[in-house]
Structure 1
Amino acid sequence: MKRIMNAPESFVAESLAGLVRAHEALVAFGSDRKFVRRRHLTPGKVALIAGGGAGHEPMHSGFVGRGMLDAACTGHVFTSPTPDQIVAAMDETDTGAGCLLIVKNFDGDVMNFEMAAEMASGRHAIEMVVVEDDAATGAGVRSRGRRGMAGTMIVEKLIGAAAERGAGLADLRALGENLNRRIRSMGVALRGVTVPNNPRETFSLGPDEMEIGIGIHGEPGLQRARFTSADEIVRVLGERILAEIRAEMALGVRGRPLLLVNGFGGTPPIELYLAQGIAHRFFEENGIMPERSLTGTFVTSLDMAGMSITLALLDDAQVELWTAPVETPGLRW
């Protein structure tokens, strides 16, 4: 697999250096280049710190900036950041109100963030939100409960806006836990992902196959199915999401729908917008009218061809947080 890179060992470091140079008005490297942080911190604001393996860009490093994260810790491709990276980010970005760690629900990420929180607990007030939005997984091999998918971006955006308005640590954690009940995602792959220094895809699909319910590290999904039309792909993903959302609605969750169609890195905008239109129509026909929508490549799996659909039921206050100003390398309005 040909890539624009010098060597697999320097791939991530050089990419992050380019990100910082391209957006130096917004972001800077932290100590020893262990993480990317907001160039200008806000005194007295809760520090929001997220991270994970490289290969999901623009998440998380591309979401550092006003209205979202204060720091992002990046590991090697599909490898969790180390606890010392996370501790260094807390030490440098906590301006007195404590730190909230936003973590995708994968065992390696959860373990290393928990370890970092324990290491730094003597000098920081720390809370953690574990994002669990994948409709395809319950308890699985690589995560305890649902995996974190593209819904992670929505969680980071809403918590980021609330923190910008001065919300405290306990309230931000409560917001994140509330959002876990409101957001469901489901993905499909048309081609596996190739990791640098490995010529083979993480899974191989035939010309007439697709993988339903995949994770963002190239994990195989719920089932391998025959490749079909866009209408049918959206229906399969949408029905699983609807079943999950309706189960939460039966328990009292209500809200205004936000629809996110996200590309995994190898899918062009023309296909994503086509899917957005179909998904909007699908949910409308099933009694859920999206009030807000977003289409693009936000939470990737390197060069995987495919997409995910996310539906979030947001209450009025959460819709205000979604529409609040944001200025990061990867998301701004």
Structure 2
Amino acid sequence: MKKIMNAPERFVAESLEGLVLAHEGLLAFGGGRKFVRRRVLAPGKVAVISGGGAGHEPLHSGFVGRGMLDAACTGHVFTSPTPDQIVAAMDEVDTGAGCLLIVKNYDGDVMNFEMAAEMAAPRHAVETVIVEDDAATGPAVRSRGRRGVAGTVVVEKLIGAAAEQGADLAALKALGEDLNGRIRSMGVALRGVAVPDNARETFVLGPEEMEFGVGIHGEPGLARTRFADADAIIRQLGEAILAEFPPGLLAAEGLRPLLVVNGFGGTPPIELYLAHGLARRFFEARAIMPARALTGTFVTSLDMAGLSLTLALLTPDQFALWNAPVATPALGW
């Protein structure tokens, strides 16, 4: 395995240092370099904080900035940040309106964010939203229930925009809980991921195999199937997503579909845009017309080859939050 790095134990710290240096107008390190924060905080707004293990970049640190996250706490590769990192972020970025924690549904993340919320409760108002968008509903290796995967970007964007507009802590929690029922994702891998610490792939696929229903920590998926062409892959992902929505929800008037095509780190743009075109045609053929779309590399599993589709069914107010201005290293309009 070849990686552009010095030593595995310095990999994450040196990457975060480069991120902050590359975006000095937007980002700064928090105290002790325990987290990355907005360089300029907005007084009086709820502080929106997220985080998780490294290896998912640009999630979460790449989404720190105006209209999204106020701070992101990063652990080692595929390892949750510690409670003291999260508490330090709350202490530094809460400007008086409390903290909303956005947590992907993996056992380590949920446990450490819950501990941090308890530790900080005497001096901060804290609420938590746990993201559960994975349509792969089989046994999950690292979570109970649905995992939090690429739909996390949608949740962070909408909650961040609402916070920027002055929504209070209770409203932000209600928004996150409402979104959980209307966002579903499904991923496929063509190659496993090699973790820097041990240089071994987490799973190995043969030349004619693909892994369907994968998570973002290199864990195997629901099924290992024969490799297929792009039409068949997108159809399989799309059908799995639609099967997880109640039929009445898909037919509900007024909801605005948002489509996200996300690369896992080892998939080039030419393949992602091809997948975007096929996904648009798949959903439109079923009378689901995406009102907005996002295609690129947003929630990765280091260098895994593969992609995921996410479909979010947004109310008009939520759709306006998606369109609201955002300025982060990885997302901006």
Alignment TM-score, normalising by the size of structure 1: 0.98
What letter corresponds to residue 132 of structure 1 in structure 2? E
> What is the CA distance between 1:5 and its match in structure 2?
0.4
Counterpart position of 1:29: 29
Compare 284-293 and 51-60 and name the one that shifted more: 284-293
Unmatched segments (≥5 aa) in structure 2:
none
Counterpart position of 1:80: 80
Counterpart position of 2:304: 304
CA contact (8 A) 2:214 2:221 kept: yes
Determine if the alignment matches structure 1 residue 206 to structure 2 residue 198.
Answer: no
What letter corresponds to residue 50 of structure 1 in structure 2? S
Counterpart position of 1:62: 62
Counterpart position of 1:293: 293
Percentage of identical aligned residues: 77
The C-alpha deviation readout for 1:305-330, integer Å capped at 9, x for no partner, is: 00000000001001100000000001
> What is the CA distance between 1:147 and its match in structure 2?
0.2
CA contact (8 A) 2:141 2:219 kept: no
Counterpart position of 2:219: 219
The C-alpha deviation readout for 1:123-156, integer Å capped at 9, x for no partner, is: 0000000000000026633112100010000000
The C-alpha deviation readout for 1:247-270, integer Å capped at 9, x for no partner, is: 571797961100000000000000
Q: Report the aligned-residue RMSD.
A: 1.3
Alpha-carbon distance in 2 for matches of 1:101, 1:247: 31
> What is the CA distance between 1:245 and its match in structure 2?
2.1
Determine if the alignment matches structure 1 residue 243 to structure 2 residue 251.
Answer: no
CA contact (8 A) 2:261 2:294 kept: yes
Counterpart position of 1:163: 163
CA contact (8 A) 1:189 1:304 kept: yes
> What is the CA distance between 1:83 and its match in structure 2?
0.1
What letter corresponds to residue 322 of structure 2 in structure 1? W
Counterpart position of 1:39: 39
> What is the CA distance between 1:200 and its match in structure 2?
1.5
Determine if the alignment matches structure 1 residue 131 to structure 2 residue 161.
Answer: no
Compare 131-140 and 284-293 and name the one that shifted more: 131-140
Determine if the alignment matches structure 1 residue 48 to structure 2 residue 86.
Answer: no
CA contact (8 A) 1:182 1:253 kept: no
Alpha-carbon distance in 2 for matches of 1:121, 1:184: 32
Unmatched segments (≥5 aa) in structure 1:
none
Compare 106-115 and 140-149 and name the one that shifted more: 140-149
Counterpart position of 2:119: 119
| 1:248-327 aligned within 5 A | 249=249, 255-327=255-327
The C-alpha deviation readout for 1:209-231, integer Å capped at 9, x for no partner, is: 00000000011111000001000
Alignment TM-score, normalising by the size of structure 2: 0.98
CA contact (8 A) 2:138 2:222 kept: no
Question: Any idea what SS the aligned residue of 1:101 has?
Answer: strand
What letter corresponds to residue 164 of structure 1 in structure 2? E
Question: Any idea what SS the aligned residue of 2:96 has?
Answer: coil
Counterpart position of 2:94: 94
